[in-house]
Amino acid sequence: MKQIVIASSNAGKIREFREMLEPRGYTVISQNELGDVGEADETGTTFRENAVIKAAYITNKFGIPAIADDSGLEIDAFGGKPGVYSARFLGHDTPYEYKNRIILERMENEEVRTCRYVCAIAYTEPGKDPVVFEDTCECLIAREPKGENGFGYDPIIYYEPLHKTMAEMTKDEKNAISHRGKALVKLENWLNEDH
């Protein structure tokens, strides 16, 4: 059983990593299980930079391999925002129910509703350069929130091919098409090449 530390405290992300990696023979450990590790300062301006910062923080602190994902939502009508500030949009501790309502209000008269989830997953280990895998999931901003699954912006993110919001999908449906799911497949393929 191979062990991977996820450099995150986000329960939703940890759950998704477990759902995707544990059936493939990995034991997923969250950084919280290592004790009070603190938080890396996400000073990057791209998802790629922030993913590397978070993974390298754990690797440097404990001398172990780590993976970190930095992901978020880019809304075309907002010029690509909230982007790397998705978690901090309208305040870090602001409930997503409120964030989603504000986005829908601002989008009310917008014809262009295209958006995408973006994910960068970084893998770091002592003495080696970081490796980063990126992918996206093209979607639309829904007209109203729907669904009880997922987390974050999922209730207002509509995926046209399945005619569902991300929050209406089963975990298997979401993991098959999501930005994180696709980036994770790239990481897993790389890990399986004897890295």
Catalytic residues: 70
Amino acid at 56: A
Nearest to 128 by CA among 181, 77, 56, 57: 56
CA-to-CA distance for 94 and 118, rounded, in angstroms? 21
The H or E element containing residue 131 is strand 131-141
Give the CA distances from residue 83 to residues 53, 72, 146, 173, in Å, rounded to whole numbers and listed in that order.
17, 5, 22, 24
Q: Which residues pair with 123 in a beta bridge?
A: 67, 131
Q: First CA to last CA across the chain, in angstroms? A: 15
Tokens of 145: 């929130």
Give the CA distances from residue 87 to residues 69, 93, 132, 152, in Å, rounded to whole numbers and listed in that order.
13, 9, 20, 8
Residue 172 buriedness (CB in 10 A; 0-12 / 13-18 / 19+): exposed
Tokens of 124: 């770091």
